[in-house]
């Protein structure tokens, strides 16, 4: 629809999904990932029961179930424990901080110590303040939203300069 200068357009509305970072629950508060981890731990515990004697089974089962419960239900810094462990292993494997340790021999060190130290004077960069005409030009550009004619400003500045000289 066109009304004089303004143009009004209709915008199509879309449904934006919410809570995309929340895992789907399959049974009560248990997510698919948690269910699969507990299921795998149960199967591993069953194999331990069948293959080991009872005293060894108790120790293996405690270790297996405790690790699986930590991996399934514990969150560290808002992320599941297995993501945290994977990130930690990756960080140990490839640390991001790299330190360059250059080896300097005694000969190079003695040669560097014999050279005189040259201290450079700090030079302060001095920037001239903007001219009045430039400030007026920028202010006019901001006030009018960029819609002005440059020639009118320059003519006005020349007239102001001529009046101030007289």
**Confidence at residue 74, expressed as pLDDT on a 0 to 100 scale:** 94
User: Rg (Cα) of the chain, in Å, rounded?
Assistant: 37
For strands 75-76 and 79-80, give the pairing.
antiparallel
Spatial contact of 41 and 49, defined as CB atoms under 8 Å apart: no
Give how far the C-alpha of residue 84 lies from the chain's centroid of Cα atoms, to the nearest Å: 18
For residue 7, the model assigns a pLDDT of: 66
Beta bridge mates, 27: 30
| Contact criterion met (CB below 8 Å) for 49 and 57 | yes
Q: Which residue has the tokens 């303040």?
A: 129
Q: What is the pLDDT of residue 3?
A: 57
CA-based torsion, 22, 27, 28, 29: positive or negative: negative
Q: What is the dihedral of CA 33, 36, 39, 43, to 10 degrees?
A: -130
* pLDDT at 6 (0 to 100): 62
| Residues 38 and 68 sit within 8 Å (Cβ to Cβ) | yes
Q: Provide the residue-wise pLDDT of the chain in tens; the chain has 166 residues.
A: 555 566 667 778 888 888 777 788 888 889 999 999 999 999 999 999 999 999 999 999 999 999 999 999 999 988 899 999 999 999 888 877 777 778 888 888 888 888 888 888 877 777 777 666 777 777 888 888 777 766 554 555 566 656 665 5
Specify the pTM. Answer: 0.48
């Amino acid at each position: 629809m066109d009304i004089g200068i303004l143009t009004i357009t209709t915008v199509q509305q879309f449904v934006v999904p919410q809570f995309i970072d929340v895992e789907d629950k399959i049974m009560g508060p248990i997510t698919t990932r948690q269910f699969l981890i507990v299921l795998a731990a149960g199967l591993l515990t069953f194999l331990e029961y069948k293959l080991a004697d009872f005293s060894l089974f108790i120790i293996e089962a405690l270790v297996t179930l405790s690790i699986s419960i930590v991996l399934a239900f514990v969150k560290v810094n808002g992320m599941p424990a297995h993501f945290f462990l994977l990130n930690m292993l990756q960080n140990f494997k490839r640390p991001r901080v790299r330190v360059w340790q250059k080896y300097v021999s005694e000969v190079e060190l003695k040669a560097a110590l014999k050279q005189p130290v040259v201290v450079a004077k700090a030079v302060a960069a001095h920037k001239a303040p903007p001219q009045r005409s430039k400030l007026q030009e920028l202010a006019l550009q901001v006030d009018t939203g960029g819609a002005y004619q440059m020639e009118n400003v320059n003519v006005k500045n020349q007239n102001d300069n001529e009046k101030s000289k007289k």
